[in-house]
Amino acid sequence: MACCVGGKTIWFEGGRREPIIVRWSGRIKAGTITHRITIAMDLIPMCLELAGADSPADDATPARDGIESLFRPFDG
């Protein structure tokens, strides 16, 4: 069974919902809320990209771009 299918709203979907709080003055507007689903393995590649660093060449992690969750509104 794949983790985080759809909106994670039924019992057989893997994972747990955990909030994350991000503060970045001048980049993220105070009070911004997003309901996008991001999993832990997305956080390291996101932090590397924000820092301007590249992921290791041998990194085979199928991570998504978590930056989209920080800066773009959720469309539903």
- Tokens of residue 17, six digits: 């919902």
pLDDT per residue as tens digits for the range 7-51: 555 555 566 667 778 888 888 888 888 777 777 777 777 888 888
- Structure confidence at residue 11 (pLDDT): 58
- For Cα atoms 45, 39, 5, give the angle at the middle one, nearest 5 degrees: 130
**Where does the pLDDT of residue 4 fall: very low under 50, low under 70, confident under 90, or very high at 90 and above?**
low
Under DSSP, is residue 3 helix (H, G, I), strand (E, B) or coil? strand
pLDDT at 1 over 50: no
Contact 70, 36 (CB under 8 A): no
Q: How many structural domains is the chain composed of?
A: 1
pLDDT at 58 over 60: yes
For residues 19 and 37, give the distance between their C-alpha atoms in angstroms, rounded to a whole number.
10
Residue type, 27: R
User: Which residue segment(s) compose the domain that 30 sits in?
Assistant: 1-76
Q: Give start and end residues of each alpha helix (H) in the chain.
A: 43-50, 67-71
